[in-house]
Structure formats: C-alpha cells, structure tokens
Amino acid sequence: MKQYVVDGFRPADYIKLKEYLDQSLESSPLGGIYWLTVEPGHLTPLQLSHQDCRPHVFGLELEETSLSCEFLVRIKKNIKCDCMDYATTAQRNWLMDTVDAIVEKLDIRV
C-alpha cells in the first residue's frame, strides 16, 4: 500500500492528535482508524459522477508513535467500485498538506 507516514510522536503528541481526530473525523469501528473525507473540489470526474458512492475518503491510522495515511481513495458503502482508486497527484498533495496542517496546528514537532 502506498502511504504518507508522519512518525516520531512523543506520548503527549499522540494524545493531542487522538483528541483532535476523535473530535474532527469519523472513526472506524477498528480502533485507531479515521476517515478523512476528500473535498468535492478534489474528486476526479469519475468520483464526482458516482454520487451514490460518496463520501470518498482517505484512511488514516493513528498509532502511538505515527500517523499513516493511505494514498487510496476509498468508498465506505461498497467493497469495490471503479471510482475507488489510488490518489491523483492533486489528491495526494491535498492529503499531505491537510495532515501537515493538522500536525502544525497542534504544535507537534517531528
């Protein structure tokens, strides 16, 4: 799986990040997994046309010392669809910029 990883968290960083993600993102029944919804302006034409598959999301996995972000644009309603695909360059950059902004906002130094 292709992914973006931010690591080197201290225990206090993990707590701040977990609290933020718990409040700001939808979590999966699997512990430590969060769904970051891709904003409509960043969806591909195919993803935009698949209204029934929305929301399109990135999976983020928070562990005690790291945050792993998959570069796969997923859907939560079905197991598979043509609109589920690896991120475009623009989507990948948006994901990394969004995660970096969260880390910066929380004043986490890595």
Task: Determine contact, residues 44/88, Cβ cutoff 8 Å.
Answer: yes
Task: Determine contact, residues 27/20, Cβ cutoff 8 Å.
Answer: no
Query: Can you tell me which residue has the tokens 């970051």?
Result: 36
Domain residues of the chain, as ranges? 3-105
Classify domain 3-105 by CATH number: 3.30.310
Per-residue pLDDT tens digits for 19-65: 999 999 999 888 899 999 999 999 999 999 999 999 999 999 999 99
pTM attached to this predicted model:
0.93
Per-residue pLDDT tens digits for 60-94: 999 999 999 999 999 988 778 999 999 999 999 99
